Amino acid sequence: MNTPWFNHTLLLLFFVGFASVASAQKNGPKEESAEEQAFRVALLPDTQIYSLRYPEIYQLQTEWIAQEAQNKNIKFVIHLGDIINDRTEREWKLADAAMKTLEKKGIPYSVVPGNHDTIDKKNPKVRDTQKYNEYFSPERFLNKKWYLGNFEEGNENNVCEFTANGHSFLVVNLEYLPRDKAIAWADRVIKEHPNHNVIVATHTYLGLSGRDRVVPKKDQIQGNNGQQLWDKLIKRNANVFMVVNGHFYGSRFQQSKNLAGGKVIELLTDYQNLANGGNGWLRLLEFSPADKKIYVKTYSPYLQRVFESPEHTFEFDFDFGRLEKMRSRPSKTRPKTKANHKLK
């Protein structure tokens, strides 16, 4: 038989437990602050074989991004170049349709030309981006709030921006084997945005054994390789924290120190050599301030699975404290006309 004091103790514990559960249900789990919420940037690597043979996979990639953008808090999409393969009108139209899927949902994105978008095999000494600029001209992006401008007349070199968690980000997109004057333009743009955290995107930069140090003999145009781009631009700008590229089959990542002693993440992503032109693999960069990490995940909406291996799913420690808060004064106003749209 239970004693009275024991019964009273049980009753007290019951009410304390009930009150705790009720309080937890009322208040719910602790919500992350606006500055702690994770956000993502998506990378679309070499879509050339999709444009050539498997356009349904390209379309599926952009549809998946559009559908998941709000749920996964995808702030920006970067195409890494080689949009098409054989430079045919059909390929350009298919690529155009796939990228318009993002536009219809208002998802910010950028493009850069790869070697297939730039060089005609019949005349490898000349940069021929006529078709690239026909479909992805500055005019296409003129009314997009994320698009800040371009260099010279075309869209081979362009700059975009987005905001996340109270921080400003600049995406500087550079042509295939960027010329010295394109690098000088990028340097000016970066220095004009000292409070932006900069991602540089270009088609060729990091290879499987490190930064590219040669210009392919078959590509007879003049330009800078990956190591030269590092020496002339990346390491000299303290607010550049990431460089992304495609071109070389496979995946590689490394971190290097710039002249200011800050870490720069360098990331190669290219799956075109796999089945079906890449099996729909794309890359998500999850910025997690709460964990002080950048989680890199490779996912295929075509296969509906994550690429679970250390080369394709990994993470970086990242000090979000180095990301400067946006100043109250706005950046340069977005140009309204074609003439003003060029960032000289």
Q: Which pLDDT score, from 0 to 100, does residue 6 have?
A: 40
Rounded to whole angstroms, the Cα distance separating 95 from 79 reads 11
Read off the pTM. Answer: 0.86
Q: Which pLDDT score, from 0 to 100, does residue 34 have?
A: 60
Give a three-class secondary structure readout of the chain. Answer: CCCHHHHHHHHHHHHHHHHHHHHHHHHCCCCCCCCCCCEEEEEECCCHHHHHCCHHHHHHHHHHHHHHCCCCCEEEEEECCCCCCCCCHHHHHHHHHHHHHHHHCCCCEECCCCHHHHECCCCCCCECCHHHHHHCCHHHHCCCCCEEEECCCCCCCEEEEEEECCEEEEEEEECCCCCHHHHHHHHHHHHCCCCCEEEEEECCCEECCEECCCCCCCCCCCCCCHHHHHHHCHHHCCCEEEEEECCCCEEEEEEEECCCCCEEEEEEEECCCCHHHCCCCEEEEEEECCCCEEEEEEEECCCCEECCCCCCCEEEECCHHHCCECCCCCCCCCCCCHHHHECC
Q: Which pLDDT score, from 0 to 100, does residue 329 have?
A: 35
Q: Which pLDDT score, from 0 to 100, does residue 3 have?
A: 47
Q: Which pLDDT score, from 0 to 100, does residue 47 have?
A: 98
Rounded to whole angstroms, the Cα distance separating 95 from 44 reads 12
Q: Is residue 189's pLDDT more than 90?
A: yes
Query: Domain residues of the chain, as ranges?
Result: 39-326
> Within 10 Å of residue 304's Cβ, how many Cβ atoms?
9
pLDDT tens per residue across span 282-333: 999 999 999 999 999 999 999 999 999 999 999 999 877 765 543 333 344 3
pLDDT tens per residue across span 326-335: 333 334 434 3
Residue whose C-alpha is closest to residue 104's, from 96, 94, 116: 96
Sequence length of the chain is 344
pLDDT tens per residue across span 224-246: 999 999 999 999 999 999 999 99
pLDDT band, residue 166 (cuts 50/70/90): confident
Q: Which pLDDT score, from 0 to 100, does residue 35 have?
A: 64
**230: phi then psi, degrees, rounded to nearest 5:** -60, -50
The stretch 91-109 carries a mean pLDDT of: 98
Q: Is residue 46's pLDDT more than 60?
A: yes
271-to-115, 246, 248, 252, 283 alpha-carbon distances in Å: 16, 9, 9, 12, 10
Q: Which pLDDT score, from 0 to 100, does residue 15 have?
A: 42
Q: Which pLDDT score, from 0 to 100, does residue 170 have?
A: 97
Options 3.40.50.300, 2.115.10.20, 3.60.21.10, 3.30.450.30; CATH of 39-326: 3.60.21.10
Q: If you compute the radius of gyration of the chain from its CA atoms, what whole number of angstroms results? A: 24
Q: Is residue 11's pLDDT more than 70?
A: no
**Alpha carbon 224 to chain centroid, angstroms:** 22
Tokens of 330: 């706005």
Rounded to whole angstroms, the Cα distance separating 312 from 44 reads 14
> Within 10 Å of residue 290's Cβ, how many Cβ atoms?
12
Rounded to whole angstroms, the Cα distance separating 283 from 294 reads 12
The stretch 128-143 carries a mean pLDDT of: 97
155-to-182, 183, 249 alpha-carbon distances in Å: 12, 14, 25
Q: Which pLDDT score, from 0 to 100, does residue 219 have?
A: 78
